[in-house]
Amino acid sequence: MDIRSATPDDFEAIRAVARETWHATYDELEADMIDRTVDNWYTDDSMPLEAPGTVVLVAVDDDELVGFTHAVAQGDKADILRLYVHPDHQGERIGSALHERLTAEIESYDVDRVRSFDFAFNDASRAFYERLGFEQTDEGEVEIDGEYYPEAVYTHDIA
């Protein structure tokens, strides 16, 4: 498996991984809402590769994009906005490898802490971040199609 910086050519595969993962993970959301959200949130406009402080990495196995992560560093903190592994490849430590590489890249921005955001009902994601040493530090809401869903905020100090 290779982990590398994303390129504009990766967005179709990023959307495919996001779509499969959302459908497999988020039973609480309607299928058509998931499709609209993925189409809007996983583009080169919503994940600008050249924006200052932005890190977008992909995991590729046998020429297949199997996972990705997206973070933005600003000031003393970095926010992990996305980290997804295709359901067929979960449990293969791809998420951990993506996170390890992401952390190394984020450290170059001289941040003191990293936050992660996910739906509060995503127990697998919450357990993943807790295994990595993150602690839940806040709650919030995320709006999709005019509906609000509970969000968990996890933080990990790296300084």
- Please, are residues 53 and 74 in contact by the beta-carbon 8 Å criterion? yes
Cβ within 8 Å of residue 104, ≥6 positions away:
none
The pLDDT of residue 17 is 98
Name the nearest CA neighbour of 116 among 102, 103, 98, 134.
134
The pLDDT of residue 120 is 94
- Please, are residues 112 and 76 in contact by the beta-carbon 8 Å criterion? yes
CA–CA gap between residue 106 and residue 2 (Å, rounded): 18
The pLDDT of residue 27 is 84
Residues recorded for the chain: 159
Q: Domain locations in the chain?
A: 2-157
Q: What is the homologous superfamily of the domain 2-157 according to CATH? A: Gcn5-related N-acetyltransferase (GNAT) (3.40.630.30)
Longest dimension (CA), the chain: 42
The pLDDT of residue 158 is 87
The residue ranges of the chain whose pLDDT is under 50 are none
The pLDDT of residue 23 is 96
The pLDDT of residue 154 is 97
Instruction: Report strand pairing: 54-61 vs 2-5.
Output: antiparallel
The pLDDT of residue 34 is 95
The pLDDT of residue 9 is 95
